[in-house]
Amino acid sequence: MKCIFEYASPLGKIFIESDGKFLTGLWFEYPFDEKKHAENSGGGVKKISADSIDSFPVISETCRWLDVYFSGRNPDFTPEFRIENLTPFRKLVVDEMLKIPFGATTTYGEIAKNIAAKKGLEKMSAQAVGGAVGWNPLCIVVPCHRVLGSDGSLTGYGGGIKNKIALLKIEGIAAEKFTLPKSRKFM
């Protein structure tokens, strides 16, 4: 059975999901993220309270990781996670996102170029990469917020563009230099 804990971050509620052994989900309380994760969780979810968190080591560890992160520091550990429904392509994209250092950004195009080189291809679709980045079930830990459009646009973010900007600022990135998406639906 999966369990969920509500973490109170400076940016609002973040839901931490675990299968009891691994971190399996991390998302903001935000319409786009919540809908995506509600569809994927499949029922049978137990909400846990702060007074029982010590019984769930990976959730406790994830809270510590988030505490360090939101203090503006790069955590020197990563909660043990397992990503469900991970296709080979999504795994390649997740692996590329995990390489993006704290305080740095990359583009969908750069990730596509790196994957194409690994696979011996001439090129790969940045849009396909965008779909896999948007699918990411572990926001912040798998740093999809560090991925930008080729023109420096902040593009969409399931947790909301305001949260994407805030996360980049926490990492010391001057998010003001990036452009907002033409569509304001993610604000």
How far is the C-alpha of 53 from the C-alpha of 28, rounded, in Å?
A: 19
Which residue is catalytic, options 3, 63, 139, 144? 144
Paired tokens of 33: 């993220």
SS3 category, 9? strand
How far is the C-alpha of 178 from the C-alpha of 64, rounded, in Å?
A: 30
List, in order, residues 6 or more apart from 38 with CB less than 8 Å away: none
Decide: 133 and 76 in contact? Cβ < 8 Å. Answer: no
Longest CA span, the chain: 53
Q: In what order do the strands lie in the sheet with 23-28?
A: 23-28, 12-18, 2-9, 45-47
Does residue 63 carry a catalytic annotation?
no
Per DSSP, 140 falls in state T
Closest CA to 135 of 93, 177, 166, 167: 93
Decide: 141 and 78 in contact? Cβ < 8 Å. Answer: yes
Catalytically annotated residues: 144
